[in-house]
Chain A
Amino acid sequence: MDTALEVCGISKTFGNHRAIDDLDLVIPRGATYGLIGPSGAGKTTAIRMIMSILFPDSGSMTVLGKPSALEAKNRIGYLPEERGVYRKMKVRAFLSYIGRLKMGERARVDARATQLLDRLGLADAVNKKCEELSKGMLQRVQFVAAIVHEPDLLILDEPFSGLDPLSVRVLKEIIADEQRRGATIIFSTHVMAHAEELCEQIVMIHKGRKVLDEPMAGLRRQYDTRTIRLEPLDATRDLMALKSVPGVERVQLTDEGCEIGLLAGTEPAVAIRNIAGAVAPARIELVRVRLEDVFIRIVGGGAASEESKQALRTHLQGLSGVGVAS
């Protein structure tokens, strides 16, 4: 397999705190990987080691076929979590400087910067000093700086934090374009919904250790919720009566209706038909796996109390919706 990144057993300790513990990771070229975990899990430290900004205490890695990112920096695009620009520099000059530091050809870098800025709604900002831009505009400029030299490996650490929904959408489109161009993308976030939407493969990190490394499709199969969400047409119907429908294991009432747990071996399509026959639905759907649920199941384990699960859930920012059907 042609790999973009191969990490073998890297560890990093700061004082008494083990930030990364024996991390292994193999990312094939052209893949989009989501590096997820709560704040403080070790994602940024792992990325900094991949970038050779920090160096592991032990372990080794190969980045784009080189023993260190130092030898492949020109081919890597990196958007750090902690954004920074030269405040007194003009946007065009800043992007040109960063692009040329990556050994990009000046004319090509300038042309691509102009095109990307235009796409991100920053065409008027090219000749402005960075200090004159708003926080959101600066963030988009920094995103352009990460991809202006057409990298083979793109590492994005929390790329959407602090952006408005419209900018998030454009950024997602550009990331998809980069993937189509052939770039390998490592995408770090603690907002699980973004990872679910963008990534083919998910790597979960918790307390410096890798706790999951699975394709998104496999996760959906493996962590099938076997739960159906029902919103009845008639809000006065007794939904608890659905317990008698074949294949239904449990029913939990929610504000909109209920969530129905299925017995093992029950075909979801048959169950949906039966439930719809019993209670006319305004909306009925199979609940898809959510990464935060997977994460809580993995790190919380079956024995974890509801309080500790809720605490973990709160820690994973970006959560939404109802809890797990019980």
Chain B
Amino acid sequence: MMQRIWMVAGRDFSVTVSNKGFLFGILLMPILIFIFVFLGPRILNGRSPVVAGQVAVMDATGTLISEVRSDLAPLAIAARRARATEPRNPSQKGGASIPSIAVVEKPSAEDLRAAKNWLVQPPAAPERHLALIAIHPDAVKRTEGKAEYGSYDLYIASRLDENTENVIHDAMRQALVSARLKNNGIDQAAVDASMQVVRPVSVTVGVGGERETQRGFARWLPFLCGILLFMGVMTGGQILMTSTVEEKSSRVVEVLLAAVSPLELMWGKLLGQVGVGLLTVVVYVGLGMLALLEYSLAGLVDPMLLVYFVIFYLLASLVYGGLMMSIGAAVNQIADAQSLMGPVMILLVAPYALVPMIGQNPNSTLSVAMTFVPPVNSFVVLARLASSTPPPLWQVFGAMATGLAGAGLAVWFAAKVFKIGLLMQGKAPSFGTLVKWARMA
């Protein structure tokens, strides 16, 4: 019996993995991951074309123009940008290009409407007019009786990019703060130094040693586990349903049933597609680990998490595979399967949607309760195991036990429906009819 089951499983596995559609599907995701993980940062850090042009300043304070000019100089822009990004992400180099800005002073008494016309330059002008800054008279010295300083108005030419506008705002802020401090007799260097508190990267101390804490990755890990589980289960389940419908509609199923029992056929197909899903997961996990190695983060994944992943993947794929296969056995064409797919898709999407919530609050009452409810518990317990506060071991084993019971029930249901549905032709049954079949078989 086992020999026949493995023979069916082997055929289904080899036919699926050698199918062009499957190969394209399984490779597409790693290619996207490669693009995002390896090429993404390089592409995003690539410099865009340098913006060059003039910024006109109408300085009603009469004191700020030299400060604005120096703060819009390329070196000052680069220094500000370095201060803003380096402590947060030292690996990120470069960023958007630094604009080349020439500051042009305009008389503050000039009519604003006429000054704004300067921005609407003729297309053939030798240098772009980027922006017009109108600094308020009380921007550096407060008006008597007012608590607040004045500010500035910014008028920009059409098609000015957001990066250049931000550069102008940053420079103006720098210039105004600097001028106000100076006006109040405060040493800006002393203020800057006082404001600077470097946030250190925390160190996680564990039994196995110390390592830098990686909150970002830990936040994403439960979600990644959910996606991997979903993809593995969906890949195997969908193929299982399609191949069963094809075998039924092409009538080859009766030839097969002359050689194997319905139970042998069902187990063979189920194991074959569990293998296909497992291959998908192995490819994705392998590539994920390579990506982690690229960032020296491989140590963040507990090897036991991979073991638990395989166990809960197997349980989930037996449940969803069994249900998808029973749908395949019940219908005569893929279109008929859509109405029966609804309940199964809800069972599949609901836990997937729960994963972010579980990941954020891995020990909430909902998380603990859902740990014992098959088939969603495969997703839930993996999200909890991947979180920074994994569940106690008894809950993991409890989830395995209930998961196993759920898988047993699903396979029993599938076997009953499979036995009756395979030779059934005609109108597609409802989900209620499938339940009836399971009871009577």
Contacts and interface: CB of A to CB of B under 8 A. Distances in A.
Real complex partners, A and B?
yes
Contacts of B8: 101
Contacts of B251: 80, 82-84
Contacts of B259: 73, 98, 101-102
A88 B15 contact: yes
B258 A80 contact: yes
Contact of A53 (B7, B11, B252, B258): B258
Interface string A64-88: 0000001001001110101111111
Contacts of A83: 251, 255
A296 B7 CA distance: 48
A53 B423 contact: yes
A201 interface: no
A131 B127 CA distance: 69
Interface in A48-106: 48, 51-54, 70, 73, 76-78, 80, 82-89, 97-98, 100-103
B4 interface: yes
A101 B7 CA distance: 7
B338 to A, nearest CB: 23
Contacts of B61: none
B256 A101 contact: yes
Interface residues of B, number: 20
B395 to A, nearest CB: 42
A25 B255 CA distance: 24
Contact of B252 (A48, A85, A103): A85
A227 interface: no
B250 interface: yes
Contact of A73 (B247, B252, B258): B258
B253 interface: yes
A89 B50 CA distance: 59
Contact of A84 (B11, B253, B260): B253
B20 to A, nearest CB: 11
Contacts of B82: none
B7 A85 contact: no
B261 A84 contact: no
Contacts of B11: 97
A145 interface: yes
Q: Is the interface of B mostly helix, strand, loop or mixed?
A: helix
Contacts of B3: 103
Contacts of B260: 73, 101
Nearest to A54: B423
B261 A85 contact: no
A296 to B, nearest CB: 30
B278 to A, nearest CB: 23
Nearest to A51: B258
A15 B4 CA distance: 33
B254 interface: yes
A76 B257 CA distance: 12
A305 B424 CA distance: 37
B255 A98 contact: yes
B250 A87 contact: yes
Contact of A48 (B7, B250, B256, B423): B423
A101 B250 contact: no
B257 to A, nearest CB: 5
Interface centre among A54, A86, A145 (most CB of B within 10 A): A86
Contacts of A88: 15
A70 B258 CA distance: 9
A189 interface: no
B149 to A, nearest CB: 77
A277 B8 CA distance: 71
A142 interface: yes
B254 A82 contact: yes
Nearest to B8: A101
Contact of A85 (B15, B250, B257, B423): B250
Contacts of A89: 15
A146 B256 CA distance: 11
Nearest to A71: B261
A86 B252 contact: yes
A31 B7 CA distance: 33
Interface string A197-223: 000000000000000000000000000
Contacts of A145: 255
A55 B257 CA distance: 13
Contacts of A102: 259
A80 B254 contact: yes
Contacts of A103: 3-4
A299 to B, nearest CB: 27
A97 B252 CA distance: 12
Contacts of B4: 101, 103
Interface string B241-277: 0000001001111111111110000000000000000
Contacts of B256: 101
Nearest to A78: B258
Given A97-B11, A101-B7, A53 B254 contact: yes
A78 B423 CA distance: 16
Given A101-B4, A101-B7, A51 B255 contact: no
Contacts of A84: 247, 250-255
A54 B254 CA distance: 11
A71 B261 CA distance: 9
Contacts of A76: 258
A113 to B, nearest CB: 14
A54 B253 CA distance: 13
Given A52-B261, A54-B423, A80 B255 contact: yes
A178 B389 CA distance: 70
A230 B7 CA distance: 62
Contacts of A142: 255
B19 to A, nearest CB: 9
A80 to B, nearest CB: 4
Most central of B7, B255, B261 by chain A CB within 10 Å: B255
A97 B260 CA distance: 12
Interface string A141-155: 010011000000000
Contact of A70 (B253, B255, B261): B261
A100 B11 CA distance: 12
15 contacts: A48-B423, A51-B257, A53-B254, A73-B259, A73-B260, A73-B261, A76-B258, A78-B255, A86-B15, A87-B250, A100-B7, A101-B4, A101-B260, A102-B259, A142-B255
**6 interchain residue pairs of minimum CB distance:** A84-B251, A84-B252, A78-B258, A101-B259, A80-B254, A82-B251
Given A86-B247, A103-B3, 6 more contacts: A73-B259, A84-B251, A84-B254, A87-B250, A98-B255, A101-B4
